[in-house]
Structure 1
Amino acid sequence: MEFVEAGGLEIAYQRVGAGPPLVFVHGAAEDSRIWQPQLAGLADEFTVVAWDEPGAGRSSDLPEDFGLTGFADVLAALIEALGLGPAHIAGLSWGGTVVLELYRRHPTCVATLIMIDTYAGWKGSLPADEVEARVAGARQMLAAPHEHFDPTLPGLFATDPPPRLVPLLSAIAADVRPATLGRQLAIMAEADLSDLLRHVSVPTLLIWGQLDARSPLTVAHQFEEAIADTRLVVIEDAGHLSNLERPERVNDAVREFCRAHAPHPG
């Protein structure tokens, strides 16, 4: 892990490889370790960077009243501090919502968007009754005593987690901070960036698990219909964490897309 001050916070990140910059933004209840297959598989051709967002991994705790704009602004500060922009920016789940907000506030940081099993916010992508059910489930999870706190969200894989991933998932879950997860889920419940999608003018790759139960393919089609220059790649036999469940297929899609849309220095 390396560290840099960004937006007044200490941000931890992993950086490997050399070549066009490719930045990965993890989902809720996760940190940069969720991108291990991408860090290992794409460093031969790209400068691959994966951050621990504020409040996750080894990064600083969240400041009070930190919102979606705060995550996006610190991400922009990280990209600037590391001299990466404009870069390919990939976001998974909650991380994709952060990436959309980054694009809205700091478009010069973004050469292309890679949206993986994500949302334009829950409010912007899901039916209202589904959002209400998720909010109720989140409250129940966060109200559990510390010894029973389990940040594992339902429906992350097509079936059960592959055994090879259990140690990694357990290690990540053990480091989740309840305050961060609560803030993330509250932001997602209110976020609606659906109107932004039709204004996206950079090439966009959509990668979706065919069996994603959390952000179903209907959400992918919403993105596909709204964004002018977009391509959808459906990963068969994969759920919400398609980057872990079928890493080779995801890496191949990312590599092909990034080769076709090389960033131009800002």
Structure 2
Amino acid sequence: MTNPLVLLPGLLCDNAVWIEQRRVFGKERPCVVPDYDLRSSITSMAEQVLAVVPDVRFSLAGHSMGGRVALEVIRIAPERVERLALLDTGYQSIAEGEAGQKEREERGNLLRVAQEKGMWAMGESWAPGMVHPEAVDSRVFAEILSMIERSSPERFEAQISALLNRPDASTQLRQINVPTMVICGRQDAWSPLARHEVMSEAIPGACLRVIEDSGHMTTMEQPVAVSAALGEWLDWTVEGA
């Protein structure tokens, strides 16, 4: 049997983020979308992934916060990962000084909205910046809001804690020795293309794919283009496979 494809969702996301990819690739291989439950650190999320995935080598793709979890998975258990895809994500820890304080305040403000007014209200203020400007008020945007509403303030608080205390993977990038693809939406305002260019240059042999007409939520905004890129990635020959 073909080894599993493990698909890691981002902040407040669930398997809806990967619905098209599961449809396309699930015909050929098991597709696993782990649930982080209420884990409140990137490391504990990575440990959860390793605990729920069958004890075989697997292809690993992470979107947004899931990309950070993917980097932690391959740090903890490099022998388990046969290839890596990082989508609309980052690798640095929280900035020092004013920039870091601003991030803490903005995330704290969103959490208060979620606690006081509910997840949908929080999503309405947060999610517009996550998509291409033309996607706001679209069917995809409504699906994103519904996904956010399915979560809870408790989960949001746990995942915010994980992100505010995220590890810095800067030195790790050059140590990654599996076939790696870096994917980013051209109009991603949350995790900009310039960051992904740095990542793809730092990871030995990595390949960068830019998804046109897409913001941060590439897998939902442009699912066909993302699946095409991941299909190419899955077709790469892996040593020892």
TM-score higher than 0.5 here? yes
- CA RMSD after TM alignment: 2.2
Contact 1:86 1:263 in 2 (8 A): no
CA distance in 1, matches of 2:26, 2:93: 32
Q: With the length of structure 2 as denominator, give the TM-score of the two structures.
A: 0.88
CA-CA distance at 1:37 after TM superposition: 1.2
Question: Aligned to 1:71, which of 16, 32, 45?
Answer: 45
Task: Please tell me the residue identity of whatever aligns with 1:74.
Answer: Q
CA-CA distance at 1:146 after TM superposition: 3.1
State which drifts further: 216-225 or 90-99.
216-225
Partner of 2:80: 109
Q: Superposition pairs for residues 225-236 of structure 1, below 5 Å?
A: 225-236=201-212
Contact 1:138 1:182 in 2 (8 A): no
- Equivalenced residue count is 234
CA distance in 2, matches of 1:224, 1:238: 19
> Cα 1:112–1:105, aligned 2, differ >3 Å: closer, same or farther?
same
Q: Percent identity?
A: 26
Per the alignment, in what secondary structure is the counterpart of residue 195 of structure 1? coil
CA-CA distance at 1:121 after TM superposition: 4.2
> Cα 1:78–1:261, aligned 2, differ >3 Å: closer, same or farther?
farther
CA-CA distance at 1:33 after TM superposition: 1.8
Structure 1: runs of 5+ lacking an equivalent: 1-17, 56-61
Q: Which is richer in strand?
A: 1
Partner of 1:42: 25
Partner of 1:253: 229
CA-CA distance at 1:135 after TM superposition: 1.8
Q: With the length of structure 1 as denominator, give the TM-score of the two structures.
A: 0.80
1:106-159 alpha-carbon deviations (Å, 9 max, x no partner): 112211110000011453xx6865443322111111123433444433421111
Task: Please tell me the residue identity of whatever aligns with 1:114.
Answer: A
1:50-87 alpha-carbon deviations (Å, 9 max, x no partner): 122223xxxxxx4xxx42221111111112xx34x311
Question: Aligned to 2:217, which of 231, 236, 241?
Answer: 241
Partner of 2:116: 146
